[in-house]
Amino acid sequence: MTKKILTLKQVADYLKVHHVTIYRLVRRKELPAFKIWHRWRFDLELIDQWRVEQEQKIKTALGDQLWVRDGRDGPAILNDTTSNDSCTTSIPVEDLV
């Protein structure tokens, strides 16, 4: 089986982040990468595994809460009825579908 190898720009596009974010993750050794002729390359299979691990970490940290960016002050908790914060939007997850 042939491995799919991506460039830095391709990984940034794939993960929908800026290429500088990819550089930072690689520099901190948080994203699996290797160099070929002084250029970063990424194994798609390892990137997918990393992405799944990140999603699991977020789910574990948040429990039943769902976070989204509300466009004002950053992230807002959805499906959390315990918050009295005026910047937090409480919407049952079922209503998002």
Task: Measure the CA–CA gap between 53 and 69, rounded to whole angstroms.
Answer: 21
At residue 52, does pLDDT exceed 50? yes
Segment 7-43, tens digit of pLDDT: 999 999 999 999 999 999 999 999 999 999 999 999 9
Helix (H) or strand (E) holding 78: strand 75-78
Q: What tokens does 51 get?
A: 């992405």
- Report which DSSP code applies to 31: S
Residue 97's pLDDT band, with cuts at 50, 70 and 90, is very low
Segment 63-93, tens digit of pLDDT: 766 656 555 555 555 555 555 555 545 455 5
- The values of phi and psi at residue 86, to 5°, are -70, -20
